[in-house]
A and B are shown apart, each in its own frame.
Chain A
Amino acid sequence: MTTIETPTPALGRRADPYKLGRAEVLATGHGEAGPASKRVVVAFGFWIFLLSDIVMFSAFFAAHAVLQTATDGGPTGRDLFDPTRVAIETACLLTSSFACGLSAVATDARNRFWTQAALLVTGLLGLAFLSLEAQEFAGMIASGAGPQRSAFLSSFFALVGLHGAHVAVGLLWLGTMMAQLFVKGFGPVLYRLICFNLFWHVLDIIWIAIFTVVYLIGEGR
């Protein structure tokens, strides 16, 4: 997705010594050669944001771990979860992430058509995931197993719903970016596409943790 950046050995030879990393100036950010390039700064900052997001998820994971058995006499995970649907959801999300990776390859080649096509597939698969999740939630609520039923279900809906909300916001972001790519080309969206890729893959990682902690362990209880 990104080319490997090498540190610039000498200070004087950089193209633009006064840039705040606002051009493609190569610097490691360890202080040898001044501010890093804008791409490094943007991607690094976004990574830090993602780490903070993972911390937020971990608080909800912790809450779910504490409350997983607090069913208050109501239904348990074994009663409620449908492994087939969860498997399809997982497949949708992972494939979506793969498509997202393809879009990054196309972006690297500056191919607008294939970037758009891959992003479209990414979005559609994300949408499929989201609708399956909505179906699951609706079914549970209809059968009286909504978040108000027990602390276990509260933490389930909050954790899985938070992930779903992230996917939904990601789709909104994706749509906006595709429109911008269509109108303006790569220029302004280049770094944001990198960020979106990171974001989408992190949502996968979190989903895998949800799959394990919520569904697999939950089925066993």
Chain B
Amino acid sequence: MNIFGNLSWEAIPWNSPLPLIASAAVIAICLALAAWVTLAGHLPYLWREWITSVDHKRIGVMYIMLGLVMMLRGFADAILMRSQQAYAFRAQGYLPPEHFDQIFSSHGTIMIFFGAMPLTIGLMNFVVPLQLGIRDVAFPTWNSTGLWLTATGALLVNISLIVGVFSRAGWLPYPPLSELQFSPDVGVDYYLWALLISGVGTLVTGINFVTTLLKMRAPGMGYLRMPMFCWTALASSLLIVAAFPILTATLAMLTLDRYLGFHFFTTAGGGNMMMFINLIWAWGHPEVYILVLPAFGVFSEVISTFSGKPLFGYRSMVAATLGICIISFLVWLHHFFTMGAGGTVNAAFGIATSVIAVVTGVKVFNWLFTMYGGRIRFATPMLWSLGFIVTFVIGGMTGVLLAVPPADFLLHNSLFLVAHFHNTIIGGVVFGVFAGIAYWFPKAFGFRLQEGWGVAAFWLTLAAFYTVFIPLYMLGLLGMPRRMQHYDMEIWRPWVLAAMIGIFLFAAALICQVIQLVVSIRHRRLLRDETGDPWNGRSLEWATSSPPPPFNFAVQPNVTGEEPYWEIKRRAIASRQNEGRYEAISMPRNSATGFVTGFFATITGFAMVWRIWWLAILGLVAAYAVFVWYAWRDISEEEIPAEEVARIDRIHRKRRADRLAPHSEASETA
């Protein structure tokens, strides 16, 4: 055994050009970026203001950037899969099976864990403290640590592209396939360490947000005055706290099987592989609600704002959110009705699953009634929300169909299932994230996104979605299983080709979004948001400037009702109100703890994948050293003097007053 464990030059895929060229390009881009940042002298700024930042707004933006980049990576996998299946009719296509299997595994893993999760958590990070009217989350340094541990996981998955291979066992590594006996290479190990590490990061975030939401709100903001997004963030965080430890435990068991010859899920020694399936879905089903609940929150905010009305049935919405939160733990078995648990068990889980549709239906009707009689503005966030309602209802109904065990026996593991969960995740989570980004972008950066390209991106995405996934539904009904590397059924061919066309529409939509970003940045002066309230919003995040100062609110707001900022505006005291008394504000100091922890976690994870034991131990010792170093700090906060707070706030007030001056008549009568 050499000092590099199992790592050797053979780990680099010299003879398969596709990953080699792709990763060479990625490495070149990264190096070029790093060189540019260093040469242009941006490194100190980047280090001071972003990498070591513990500001929830910065961390939120970084999460979203990570999520968008990873979604791009996952989308590349999607293009490969669709085009491979378009080619591979009575042929082998251009992707050999062992490569194709890696692609669908990494597509699912990346999209869920490193695309959707960071995007959702990023929105929570940016928005929740602003809506609660507070300065930061409960544990700012842990927040930064969570970000960097998530980034570590993403990095490990992407390292597998060039050094070694990725898992070929699907996005959830079902044993016995994922056991050492049947997957002897490092693919599953990359998966395990990436998820064990990023899982800790997610858990930390969940704990942080539960604490923040339950213990740190502006004076007067009782539970039933929290904005809907905060409620969904709370439900989602509670689910993270209750579900992610199960994921960690399950993956740890598989890790023990693979590394130390344990027999949790093996075929020999009395192992029980169905236990893995049960455990992983006890996490996996809550996980889909962890993702979609915050998206529901975004839609609630957006639909209420752009209809100019309070959210219809606020309390029933809260009840529905918590109902979903609880029921989501009672349905895991519907992912494997075919296990053979018997009719009674299957019926119970089928009914529980259908009940979720009832609770979700409450939400849909609330959104519809919010719009009813409202003065609706069809801005981009609102378009995404409307597209969501239609699309998600279809996805929900196919879900209810799958919840019926006899139907599920026919559709299990078919493309119908694939179409269903893409329908809910794209139509729910992705649309929600895009709506949220368009909605809160001006709050984060001080200028709106350009409208035209956003509208184009929306319509193209909508068209693309239906062009890809209606054919997949049809293919599922025609009996095509998921994850096929090639096939020879004539009848499937046209649908596969149609889905292929859809993926190019998705690409076009993506290009529109990139153009939108570029155009918006170039025209940022025209799109500037001077008032801090570009959409005529109703909750507290719109009460402060865009972008908000580090301390969010110069004077902590007092909350007297369900829609605090709307009330403030109704009383028309916002721009004219006397300033209030400024006092010095203590803010948490920046800390490199998170970044350094992520750095050593990457080293430890990589070392464990390749079984370089000394390096893994070194990483753990370093982690302990970081812990002590952080625990030993003397000053954890720094004070922003009252004069500085006053100066920043007065600038904002002046800008807003100037902007509002010509309209002051109108706003008074409104």
Contacts and interface: CB of A to CB of B under 8 A. Distances in A.
Contacts of A44: 211, 214-215
A52 B631 CA distance: 23
Contacts of B243: 55
A151 B269 contact: yes
Contacts of A119: none
Interface stretch (A34-42, A81-89, A91-99, A202-210): A34-42
A31 B270 contact: no
Contacts of B637: 22
Nearest to A59: B249
B264 A45 contact: no
Contact of B264 (A22, A35, A67): A67
B325 to A, nearest CB: 15
A71 B272 CA distance: 12
Interface in A169-207: 172, 176-177, 180, 188, 192
B218 interface: yes
A51 interface: yes
A11 B219 contact: yes
A173 B634 CA distance: 18
Given A52-B242, A56-B246, A148-B261, A31 B272 contact: no
Given A20-B134, A32-B219, A55 B207 contact: no
B279 to A, nearest CB: 6
Contacts of B4: none
A168 B211 CA distance: 27
Interface in B251-278: 252-253, 256-257, 260-264, 266, 268-272, 275
A194 B203 CA distance: 21
A143 to B, nearest CB: 17
Contact of B272 (A18, A32, A67): A67
A30 B264 contact: no
Interface in A1-46: 11, 17-22, 29-36, 40-41, 44-45
A34 B556 contact: yes
Nearest to B206: A52
Given A147-B260, A151-B269, A59 B217 contact: no
Interface string B205-242: 01110110011111111110110000000000000011
Contacts of A172: 624
Interface stretch (A103-111, A124-132, A152-160, A211-219): A152-160
A158 to B, nearest CB: 6
A31 B586 contact: no
B39 interface: no
A151 B269 CA distance: 6
Interface string A133-165: 000000000000001111110110110000000
B492 interface: no
B245 interface: yes
B664 interface: no
A120 B207 CA distance: 30
B138 interface: yes
Contacts of B138: 41, 45
A204 B206 CA distance: 25
A171 to B, nearest CB: 12
Contacts of B624: 172
B242 A151 contact: no
Interface string B186-211: 00000000000000000100111011
Nearest to B210: A48
Contacts of B261: 147-148
Given A59-B250, A70-B270, A35 B207 contact: no
Interface residues of B, number: 66
Given A59-B250, A67-B272, A180 B632 contact: yes
Query: Which label, helix, strand, loop or mixed, suits the secondary structure of the A interface?
Result: helix
B658 interface: no
Contact of A148 (B134, B206, B269): B269
A162 B260 CA distance: 15
B627 A176 contact: yes
A72 B241 contact: no
B244 interface: yes
A60 B249 contact: yes
Given A20-B135, A158-B253, A30 B223 contact: yes
A31 B246 contact: no
Given A51-B241, A52-B203, A70-B271, A31 B264 contact: no
A151 B583 contact: no
A31 B222 contact: yes
A53 B246 CA distance: 10
A176 B624 CA distance: 10
B241 A52 contact: yes
Given A17-B556, A18-B556, A48-B207, A40 B272 contact: no
Nearest to B645: A18
Contacts of B246: 55-56, 59
Contacts of B52: none
A55 B242 contact: yes
Q: Pick the 3 closest A-B CB pairs, nearest first.
A: A70-B270, A59-B249, A56-B245
Interface of B: 134-136, 138-139, 203, 206-208, 210-211, 214-223, 225-226, 241-246, 248-250, 252-253, 256-257, 260-264, 266, 268-272, 275, 279, 282, 555-556, 558-559, 583-586, 624, 627-628, 631-634, 637
Interface of A: 11, 17-22, 29-36, 40-41, 44-45, 48-49, 51-53, 55-56, 59-60, 62-63, 66-67, 70-72, 147-152, 154-155, 157-158, 172, 176-177, 180, 188, 192
14 contacts: A18-B556, A20-B136, A30-B222, A36-B215, A45-B211, A51-B242, A70-B271, A148-B263, A151-B263, A151-B272, A152-B270, A154-B256, A154-B263, A188-B634
